Amino acid sequence: MEQIIAKDLYFTYDKQTPALKGVNFTVQKGEYVAIIGHNGSGKSTLARLLNGLLTPTLGTITVDGIVVGDKKTLFEVRKRVGVVFQNPDNQMVASIVEDEVAFGPENLGVPRKEIKERIDFALSAVGMQDFKRATPSRLSGGQKQRIAIAGVLALKPDVLVLDEATAMLDPQGRKEVLSTVQKLNKEQGVTVVAITHYMEEVTKADRVIVLSDGEMVFTGTPKEIFLKQKELKNLGLEVPLAVYIAQKLKEQGVEIDGDVLTQSDLAEALCKL
């Protein structure tokens, strides 16, 4: 089922050059879509349009058939689409983790008793159930970001949008957040739209959308996208190191077996030689 439909999306800040120039895409329910593109290509603008923080200048986005970016539907959209941004510190409002997670549902008018259940559900989903009474400011970057995700999950969204949500984290924090998101997608069927510049994260996606100067230039599976090494390079994007090494080896006549997307694929392929 098509859950998100973006049609001919334009967005212009302050009447300057458009940040998005006629973007069209759909996202299926339960799909994991990665969005990549150089700085200023329009990724964050798209994230803000997806939950109605911004309204399209032209074109439409619908989520489950509901038009996004209209004041009348804002509440319904916020219930369905949760966005996690780059810096967890800017997203924290409370001094205790459980209050932080409760903040969103309270604003949506969820009854007190249900909020309690949602806090437990959301904190266990991100593996932070033991931190209910903790002070957010004392947590590590990865833990804070997992709390930010829990805050969004407490809204029980059908769609989770991550705008470079792992960019400020160390490799451990990035791993924690990434595996949390993958679990939510696989086990709870949450649709994921993950904006990232870490190519390793892209390998986990069902599909990739490549933006450049406000336009969608490619879309395909990670494998299809990584075959476009030259084109990506021209856009200032790199393929994952494992993919690069595998392609180089193939060019040299080394018989690499199967598709190599990740380091472990590469290790496996090399062991078979």
Ligand X SMILES: Nc1ncnc2c1ncn2[C@@H]1O[C@H](COP(=O)(O)OP(=O)(O)O)[C@@H](O)[C@H]1O
What does each C-alpha distance from 168 to 10, 35, 57, 90, 143 come to in angstroms?
Answer: 29, 18, 31, 12, 12
CA atoms within 13 A on the CB side of 252: 8
* CA-derived radius of gyration, the chain: 19
Q: By CB under 6 A, what part of segment 66-95 binds ligand X?
A: none
| C-beta separation of 216 from 25 below 8 A | yes
Q: How far is the CB of 214 from ligand X (least distance, A)?
A: 7
Question: Which of Mg ion, ligand X, none does 203 bind, CB closer than 5 to 8 A by kind?
Answer: none
40 binds, among Mg ion, ligand X, none (CB under 5 to 8 A by kind): ligand X
Q: Which does 142 bind (CB under 5 to 8 A by kind): ligand X, Mg ion, none?
A: none
- Could you say whether residue 14 binds ligand X (CB under 6 A)? yes
C-alpha distance from residue 215 to each of 3, 25, 138, 162 (Å)? 21, 11, 40, 19
Least distance in Å: CB of 251 to Mg ion?
34
The CB-nearest residue to Mg ion is 44
SS3 135: coil
Phi, psi dihedrals of residue 228, rounded to the nearest 5°? -90, 50
Give the nearer residue to Mg ion in terms of CB position, either 42 or 52: 42
Least distance from Mg ion to the Cβ atom of residue 31, Å? 21
Least Cα distance to 78 among 44, 58, 106 occurs for 106
Nearest approach, Cβ of residue 193 and ligand X (Å)? 13
Give the Cα separation of 197 and 149 in Å (integer): 19
Gap between the Cα atoms of 163 and 46, Å rounded: 9
Per-position x/- string for 27-66, each x denoting binding to ligand X as judged by CB under 6 A, each - no binding: ----------x-xxxxxxx---------------------
Give the binding-site size for ligand X (rule: CB under 6 A): 11
Q: How far is the CB of 10 from Mg ion (least distance, A)?
A: 18
Closer to ligand X by CB, 27 or 119: give it: 27
Helix axes 171-188, 141-153, angle to 10 degrees: 20
Q: Which is nearer to ligand X, 64 or 213 (CB)?
A: 213
Q: 128 or 205: whose CB is closer to Mg ion?
A: 205
Closer residue to Mg ion, CB minimum distance, 43 or 144:
43
The region that residue 18 occupies, defined by phi over 0 for left and psi between -120 and 50 for alpha, beta otherwise, is beta
**How far from chain centre, in Å, is Cα 74?**
20
- CB of 87: closest distance to ligand X in angstroms? 13
Name the binder of 45 from Mg ion, ligand X, none, CB < 5-8 A by kind: ligand X
Q: Total number of residues binding Mg ion (CB under 5 A)?
A: 2
One of 44, 91, 143, 191 touching Mg ion (CB under 5 A): 44
Residue 69 contact, options Mg ion, ligand X, none, Cβ 5-8 Å cut-off depending on partner type? none
Q: Which residues of this chain interact with Mg ion, rule CB under 5 A?
A: 43-44
